Amino acid sequence: MPRTLHRTDQRTVRRVEAEPKKSSSMKGALVRGAISGAVATAAMSGVMVAGQRAGMLPEQPPKRIVRALLPGHRHRRKQGEGVMGALAHVGFGTVSGSVYGLVTRGRRVPVPVGVAYGLALWIAGYAGWVPGLGVLPPIPRDRPGRQWVMAAGHVVYGTALACVMNRLARRR
């Protein structure tokens, strides 16, 4: 920490100026983002389950992604894929929340910023790396029901992410 010395009446007074701790504020932003991401993933999962029950989403995309990555034929069901898909989804949502926490520096931001972040994740995934793995077709060629459910799910993710982050930022 930097020190500043002041001379007053034949005495030297030492004053220590507080310096912001970047490592602890970064760690706090990561943790708050991770917590927010996990909560937001749970909210998004509710939308996905509702879409599946409505017949708009035949299978959960995280399960299909895990199935494609596991050994064996990429389109054949595999033991444990449902649990692994759920864990992968929570893990991805938590890590994405941590990235959001870093980008926003753990500060309060307007909810539309979170919504935009959620939609950016959807586009990057479902127009980029998911079709790149050969798991699902890109958004324009995908079934309409899945498009709507996944877009809505990512809007819910972004909304919940921003709301929880803002709540946690207020407690600091």
Q: What are the residue boundaries of the structural domains of the chain, listed by start?
A: 22-170
DSSP 17: P
Q: What was the pLDDT predicted at 76?
A: 80
Q: What token pair was written down for 65? A: 């992604």
User: What backbone phi and psi angles, to 5 degrees, belong to 97?
Assistant: -65, -40
Quote the crossing angle between the two packed helices 111-124 and 144-170, to the nearest 10°: 140
Stronger pLDDT, 82 or 111, i.e. the higher one = 111
In this structure, are residues 123 and 59 in contact, taking their beta carbons and an 8 Å threshold? no
Q: What is the pLDDT of residues 13-40, one digit of tens each?
A: 554 444 445 556 899 999 999 999 999 9
Q: Which amino acid is at 86?
A: A
Paired with 11 in beta bridges are 8
Does the structure show a pLDDT above 70 at 5?
no
Q: Which residue has the tokens 């864990």?
A: 87
Q: Give the other-Cβ count within 10 Å of 141's Cβ.
A: 9
| Full-model pTM | 0.83
User: What backbone phi and psi angles, to 5 degrees, belong to 12?
Assistant: -105, 120
Does the structure show a pLDDT above 80 at 47?
yes
Q: What was the pLDDT predicted at 110?
A: 97
Q: What token pair was written down for 166? A: 């803002």
